[in-house]
Amino acid sequence: MQFPTRPPTVPMAPATATATTTTTAVASPSTSFRPLRRSLLPPTTKAARCPPPPRCRGRLGTARQVVAADVSSSPSDVAAEEAAAAPKIGKRVRVMAPVRVHHVSKAPDLDLRGMEGVVKQYVGVWKGKRITANLPFKVEFELRVDGQDKPVRFFAHLREDEFELVGDE
């Protein structure tokens, strides 16, 4: 590998002093100054450089997003799915599967099996599009806690096979 060489430089003339004035010789205009690292190192290619480190997105990157499902689903399929879920909204349901929730502060690690609640919303369709909601039914529960007059209300999302209809609200 050949390294580029510097052009020859003209030596500076020694300073001459006279009795009345002092003059100093100036370097020739052909003398150029280039940093040493540029002249001794070969030019680097983009492939030889290290890639930048991955950027951390922090908590903003972990935000939940609503993802539209396959575009091939027709509007009639989405309407049929919404129509099938509509009769369950407002109905009283009982949880039949062993479902544990940890978001109720008054009763941590709560098992919902056998509890009754009311279906408030179907979230499998949003703005006319099917979304990837794996727990599409939003159910409201009331839990009596010792030492409180009013029951604690909380929501849990369930699948259709985890509950059964009990009766009307």
Residue 138 in any domain: the answer is: yes
| Number of domains making up the chain | 1
Q: Where are the beta strands (DSSP E) in 80-162?
A: 91-95, 100-101, 110-111, 116-122, 125-126, 129-130, 137-143, 152-158
Residue 94: inside a domain: yes
Q: For residue 101, what is the domain's CATH number? A: 2.30.30.50
- Give a yes or no: residue 25 inside a domain: no
Domain annotation covers residue 6: no
Listed range (10-14, 30-34, 78-82) with the worst mean pLDDT: 30-34
126 lies in a domain?
Answer: yes
Q: Supply the pTM of this predicted model.
A: 0.55
Residue 89 structural domain: 75-168
92-132 tens-digit pLDDT: 999 999 999 999 988 888 999 999 999 999 999 888 888 88
11 part of a folded domain: no
